[in-house]
Structure 1
Amino acid sequence: MKQAIVVRSDLGMGTGKLAAQVAHAALSAVEHANSDTVRDWKREGQRKVVLKIDGERALFEIQEKAKTAGLPTGLIRDAGRTQLDPDTPTTVAVGPASDEAVDQITGSLSLY
């Protein structure tokens, strides 16, 4: 089992900002997962992978594919207090779910 967190590479976020957005997305998706899935994922080490994507539209497409597949997702929009404009979509998490299910949605993306 794993979770993929997809980050927009076109925003030029600083390291700290990027880390915060990834954390927000990871937690958000877990909140939408069923308890058995979360338990199994935790037991297996809470594996995560951070991937990159270019652009807002592509980020929304990943989210839509995950929702259609019935996978938990968490899309994050920045509050706009530091580096980005308010409501800027930054990241989306897919899973936790089986490796195969997550890979069907994010398998073509590169590591961040």
Structure 2
Amino acid sequence: MYEQAIVIRNDLKMGKGKMAAQACHASIQAFLHAQKISSSAVSGWMNEGQKKVVLKVNSEKELLEIFKNVNIEGLPCSLIRDAGRTQIEPGSLTAVGIGPEKEEKISKVTKDLKLL
């Protein structure tokens, strides 16, 4: 089974709409990266219904640690930096998108995170 994981910073206290927008940015950017490096995973994910899981971290440090570990594992990913036009400071790191990729590969990095 394939999935995509979105990791959102919970400490920024973004509104629900803002969090949804950041999750969408992370999802799309990670998907575009996956198309370049793992077309078979993208095809599998598309055929299986595009499962997504949204998880949370409580600091920029935790978000960057996840991003680092995802890169070490060689998974398609994205790191989202907000433009700062609405609720949060410009340049704030808000989310990481991971995959699509096989669930077991993603869970190796995200297994200790809680659902948003």
Fold-level match, TM-score > 0.5? yes
Distance 1:99 1:71 in 2: 11
Q: TM-score, normalising length from structure 2?
A: 0.94
RMSD: 0.7
The alpha-carbon deviation at position 95 of structure 1 amounts to 1.2
Distance 1:80 1:39 in 2: 34
1:1-112 aligned within 5 A: 1-33=2-34, 34-112=38-116
Distance 1:87 1:37 in 2: 31
Q: TM-score, normalising length from structure 1?
A: 0.97
- Point out where structure 2 has 5 or more consecutive residues left out of the alignment: none
The alpha-carbon deviation at position 94 of structure 1 amounts to 1.2
The alpha-carbon deviation at position 35 of structure 1 amounts to 2.0
Distance 2:65 2:32 in 1: 21
- Point out where structure 1 has 5 or more consecutive residues left out of the alignment: none
Size of the aligned set, in residue pairs, is 112
